[in-house]
Amino acid sequence: DTGVSQDPRHKITKRGQNVTFRCDPISEHNRLYWYRQTLGQGPEFLTYFQNEAQLEKSRLLSDRFSAERPKGSFSTLEIQRTEQGDSAMYLCASSFNRALTTDTQYFGPGTRLTVL
Amino acid sequence: RKEVEQDPGPFNVPEGATVAFNCTYSNSASQSFFWYRQDCRKEPKLLMSVYSSGNEDGRFTAQLNRASQYISLLIRDSKLSDSATYLCVVNYYNQGGKLIFGQGTELSVKP
């Protein structure tokens, strides 16, 4: 399977714990995005990387959230001191960006986080 | 006000019906437009891009009105397998290409 993969698919944790999610993009895709989706809402943009550089972070991404893409390949999203409001589906997407064109983003299956 | 607004539905229609979804966006700087489909507890998947000239893909027709900042999706001869949530999406490619999603419109096609 050469699509976007995410691990784990499900995570249940207790409030106050730290969690880390991983995203493996489609090979050779230079852009990687993180989104969050809560029940009944569309996905909301969190952050994105162009290769290894994190170029934008949403105001939704509080200081408890950190994302990395150390070698421009896979990415991790860490949430520290989880809160019940962090419960959501965390979606990763990747794309190959060419200048002045709109690239198609391909989504992974998501990591569903439940904070008890 | 949300940047992209959709009627959340649900739309309950019989097989074979024609159904139309509407969407409005508030930022006139929006540059690209899409409809994504999302099945229950699955990831969003691109259904089609939306162009000012209108575009059609089989039973699906998408329209864009930049002056009114309005996007539509028409599904003809609906099938049971069309049951899903349809997400209206805008994109700013000069701002990193992030996608701005509407809330989604739920469609349920009944036999």
Contact A55 B102 (CB under 8 A): no
Residue-wise pLDDT tens digits, A1-29:
579 999 999 999 999 999 999 999 999 89
A42, A44, A103: residue with CB nearest B97 = A103
pLDDT at B41: 87
Could you give the maximum distance between any two Cα atoms of chain A, in Å? 44
- Residue to mutate among A45, A102, A106, with most B CBs inside 10 A, is A102
- Residue to mutate among A4, A37, A39, A61, with most B CBs inside 10 A, is A37
pLDDT at A102: 67
B31, B43, B98: residue with CB nearest A45 = B98
User: Which positions 61-100 of A are in contact with B (Cβ < 8 Å)?
Assistant: 91, 93, 95, 97, 100
pLDDT at A59: 85
Sheet with B19-25: list strands edge to edge: B4-6, B19-25, B70-75, B60-65, B55-57
Question: Where are any strands of DSSP class E within A1-116?
Answer: 5-7, 10-13, 19-24, 31-37, 44-50, 53-57, 65-68, 75-79, 88-95, 106-107, 111-115
Could you give the maximum distance between any two Cα atoms of chain B, in Å? 44
Residue-wise pLDDT tens digits, B74-105:
999 999 999 999 999 998 766 778 899 999 99
pLDDT at A88: 97
pLDDT at B72: 96
Contact status of B98 with chain A (Cβ, < 8 Å): yes
- Which residue stretches of chain A have pLDDT < 70? 1, 99-102
Cα A20 from Cα A65, distance rounded (Å): 10
Contact status of A59 with chain B (Cβ, < 8 Å): no
10-residue averages of pLDDT along chain B (111 residues): 88 97 88 93 93 91 93 97 96 79 96 95
Contact status of B2 with chain A (Cβ, < 8 Å): no
pLDDT at A101: 65
- Burial class from Cβ neighbours inside 10 Å (0-12, 13-18, 19+) for residue B35 reads buried
* DSSP code for A101: S
